[in-house]
Amino acid sequence: MKIGFNFSLGTTYPLVTQLVREREIDFCEILIDNFLQVPAVELAAAFDCPVAFHIMFSKYMESDQAALEDLAARLREYIDILRPLYVSDHIAAFSHLGRQLYHLAEVDYAGAYRQIRERTLWWQERLGCRVHLENYPSIMDGGHDAPAFFARLTKETGCGLLFDISNAVCAQRNCGLPLDAWSLLAAEARHFHIAGFTGSILSPRLAIDAHDTDLAPDTLAYLERIGPALALPGRTLTYERDGNIEYEAIVRDLHRLRTALACPKPSHGHAAVNADASEDRNANVTA
């Protein structure tokens, strides 16, 4: 299995290249939305390691078709040139009744299933690859429907689950969704996220997926529990850090991950690590 770091801000590029140079990470997950202004060939040349793509603002369930067609055409150029390990996106509500939300909201898993299923099939077809969709850090009781929703969606559309381990821990803290409810999905997932989270300002104190603190003890404990799933060939784990970005703190957490998973430091090689990329592109993503 391979451990990576999420590259979301241009200002962190020197830090990311240092992590690569010092062999602290195996690959870099690029928040691709933020770098579409960079020509694909230049972005490919900027990284001396394999990359993955994380899409944040496609809003593929809400955006109009023309805008999504345009975005997909642009993304496919980057996919063809950079050959990412995987392409991932989000299932979340970005707006409500035409108004942009300040924070992303969790979807109605039962009520919106048909729409999400059709949109997911369509989005994968436009991108020409399997898309791995991230689970939400649930706050409300509706989060209890998430595991069954993802089990059905992955089966019926061929999409993958980008299993965010810390989001599952947040959901357990916030609404009592048992971590064991994710067991079968975690065993089948190929790509994982993990990050620190913080408490909300107002009561009740909710766990907020802030990506700005060190990994929590219960997150690391859960990681060790599902460690055998991550040890399988082709698995990746991306560590996210978007705030309080300090190199030594990040390296300490990366070492915690490697210790928990008994995963040695990398020996970089594009061909070996990118072998699974073509599998996603050639996958059957239609029902």
CA distance 110 to 181: 17
A 10 A CB-CB count for 165 gives 25
CA distance 281 to 86: 9
pLDDT in tens, 191-242: 999 999 777 677 777 867 777 888 999 999 999 999 999 999 999 999 999 8
Instruction: Look at the block and give the residue holding tokens 């997950």.
Output: 29
Q: In the chain, what is the straight-line distance between the N-terminal and C-terminal CA atoms, in Å? A: 29
Query: Cα–Cα distances in Å, from 12 out to 24, 28, 176?
Result: 15, 12, 35
Question: Letter for the amino acid at 199?
Answer: G
Angle, helix 113-127 to helix 65-82, in steps of 10 degrees: 50
Q: Which residues pair with 99 in a beta bridge?
A: 96
Residue 210 pLDDT: 75
The fold of the 2-281 domain, in CATH, is TIM Barrel (3.20.20)
Question: Letter for the amino acid at 140?
Answer: M
- Token pair for 64: 């109009």
Rounded to two decimals, what is the model's pTM? 0.91
SS3 1: coil
Q: What single string gives the DSSP state of each residue in 66-104?
A: HHHHHHHHHHHHHHHHH--S-EEEE--EEEETTEEEEEE
pLDDT in tens, 17-37: 999 999 999 999 999 999 999
pLDDT in tens, 102-150: 567 788 999 999 999 999 999 999 999 999 999 998 888 888 999 999 9
pLDDT in tens, 32-66: 999 999 999 999 999 999 999 999 999 999 889 99
DSSP 8-state secondary structure symbol assigned to residue 160: E
Query: Cα–Cα distances in Å, from 56 out to 34, 88, 93, 113, 266?
Result: 9, 9, 12, 20, 27
Closest to 255 measured CA to CA, from 220, 230, 208:
220
Residues 6+ apart with CB under 8 A from 111: none
**Domain ranges, ordered by start, for the chain:** 2-281
Tell me: cis bond preceding 266? Omega within 30 of 0 counts: no
- Token pair for 131: 């898309």
